[in-house]
Structure 1
Amino acid sequence: MGVSTHNDEFTSTVAPARLFKAAVLDADNLFPKIAPDAAKSAENIEGNGGPGTIKKITFPDGKYVKQKLDAIDLDNYSYSHSIIEGDILSAELEKISHETKFVAAPGGGSVIKVTTTFHTVGNATVDEAKAKEGKEKAAGLFKLVEGYLEANPSAYN
């Protein structure tokens, strides 16, 4: 198995606590409302919502992914999960892991730090164009959440 790691940062005008509550803790409810093209539904298929929980996310085109919650730290606004099955994984990818931290930024906003680790099968290499596409989708989702929170200042306080 090969491993390829990418580190990315996104910025937001929203404080870490609100952003974490919306983008992580209530993602199953919020994303289908604010990004119907990105997610149709999410359902826990195993577990109680804590580490070890496996969730199936279905997209509007019928494709899906299963992700496993590896860890969550409510006090430090961080979590990690792995995509373990689904249409996003190619024959060359065993899984994709994400570690995400929401850190306070000067001026009251946040810096979202994401470490993505691609676990490849054998000596396969990561398709960098697909990795870039995934990063852009993640950035877009964070911006949608930010826009929602700015338009709804009493939400997720």
Structure 2
Amino acid sequence: MHGQISQDVVVEVPAAEVWDVFRGLELGNIINKLLQDVMGTVEVVQGDGGPGTILKVTFPPGTPGVGYMKEIFTKVDDEIRLKETEMIEGGYKAIGFDLYRSSFQIIEKDGESCIVRTTVEYEIDDKLQRRASKLTTKTMEMLAEVAGKYIKENRCPTK
């Protein structure tokens, strides 16, 4: 079984500023600062934020499952502001998903706002398809909202 879910989140920050945070490792720093209780901790296993970078996310205590996941950055496209990651260990891979790919695309709305499109693509054996019905983009949406608020509150004032 193959599927995809997607959701758009409007962020009141210019697309270029949001992309600066989402394209590399800064998003992990925001999770570590503001969302440890919800998403866990992020550590860089290898890489500098470009394709091939591997992150390990250790989920907060009490999270069901194996307690962690590793993901690799498979695409960082500055032209269309698209970042894709693929889970390579733990997380959804540990419960039977053959593929779990997530992406953020930053789409300019106007000079002061943008849309963060969150997408999850997955593949799972047909016998396990009930697990796929529980997938959601809610955590990614929350991350987009929190990151947007963080950027807005911490950016340098402009004239």
CA–CA distance in structure 2, aligned partners of residues 111 and 121 of structure 1: 33
SS across alignment from 2:3: strand
Residue 144 of structure 1 corresponds to 146
SS across alignment from 1:125: helix
Q: 2:107 is matched with which residue: 80, 87, 103?
A: 103
Pairing 1:75–2:58 present: no
In 2 relative to 1, CA 50–112 (structure 1 residues): closer, same or farther, beyond 3 Å? same
**Is the CA contact 1:34–1:145 (under 8 Å) kept in the aligned structure 2?**
no
In 2 relative to 1, CA 149–41 (structure 1 residues): closer, same or farther, beyond 3 Å? same
Residue 120 of structure 2 corresponds to 116
What count of residue pairs does the alignment treat as equivalent? Answer: 152
Residue 58 of structure 1 corresponds to 58
Q: Which runs of 5+ in 1 are unaligned?
A: none
When normalised by structure 2's length, the TM-score is 0.80
Q: Moved runs in structure 1, 4+ residues, more than 6 A?
A: none
When normalised by structure 1's length, the TM-score is 0.81
How much does 1:28 deviate? Answer: 2.2
Residue identity matched to 1:44:
V
**Is the CA contact 2:56–2:68 (under 8 Å) kept in the aligned structure 1?**
yes
Whose helix fraction is larger, Structure 1's or Structure 2's?
A: 2
**Is the CA contact 1:50–1:72 (under 8 Å) kept in the aligned structure 2?**
yes
Q: Which runs of 5+ in 2 are unaligned?
A: none
| Overall identity of the aligned pairs, in % | 19
The alignment's C-alpha RMSD in Å is 2.4
How much does 1:90 deviate? Answer: 5.0
Residue 84 of structure 1 corresponds to 88
CA–CA distance in structure 1, aligned partners of residues 38 and 23 of structure 2: 15
Residue 156 of structure 2 corresponds to 154
